[in-house]
Homo-oligomer: A and B are copies of this chain.
Amino acid sequence: MSSPRKVSDSTVRRLSSYLRILRDIQSDGTHTVSSERLAELGGLTSAQVRKDLSFFGNFGVRGRGYDVGDLRTALTGILGLDRTWKTVVVGAGRLGSALISYPEFPNQGFAIVGVFDVDPSKLGRRIGDCEIRPVQELRDYAERESISVGIIATPRVAAQEAADHLVAGGIRAILNFAPMALDVPPGVTVRHVNLAIELEGLSFAITESSNVPTTIETGDAD
């Protein structure tokens, strides 16, 4: 149904950013926006904005710009944010608990409907609306409840097993917070949020700028 062309990861990330900007300016009462203005608000070039959008269709009107509401609706649809994705969290430690209460998840249509942990002492406890269940039940639960997304917030050693259960239960996508690469079959999408890598990137940037006192060329926000 949608365009079969391969869309780059960076393009998809920028679509998210456009959508956030559109939401912001729509609540200010703005009805029309040019690629130039969108670029300015997102810290990009107007050509970039037009290229990204033209990948998915002709949303603009020449001489006029883009209708904020229409473009927002279009992007919401393209990103699949016009529906609810049933989501489970594996790992009810501090990070898992924090994620369960993170308002951005329900905001984007990710409904956390189940939480799983290996620790028997945690079972039955509630976090938010969810009771903590044993990981042994994860596969069946995911299958029975048609869960689309799994969030892995376990320690490193438990992550691959968690992924295996999720995949066996028919999950489609995984957001992985454990600091290791997961092995999953094709057709399952993994996004890896690796805090260690982010930290090491910061460390590198500070170290490098200390060592090269004349040139300060970093400072790249987002």
Contacts and interface: CB of A to CB of B under 8 A. Distances in A.
A184 B219 contact: yes
Interface residues of A, number: 79
A16 B203 CA distance: 11
Contacts of A99: 195
The dominant DSSP class at the A interface is: mixed
A135 to B, nearest CB: 20
A14 to B, nearest CB: 9
A81 to B, nearest CB: 6
B98 A218 contact: no
A187 interface: yes
A27 interface: no
A218 B189 contact: yes
A198 to B, nearest CB: 5
B221 A4 contact: no
Interface pairs A-B: 7 shortest CB-CB: A80-B207, A186-B219, A98-B98, A189-B205, A94-B98, A173-B202, A80-B203
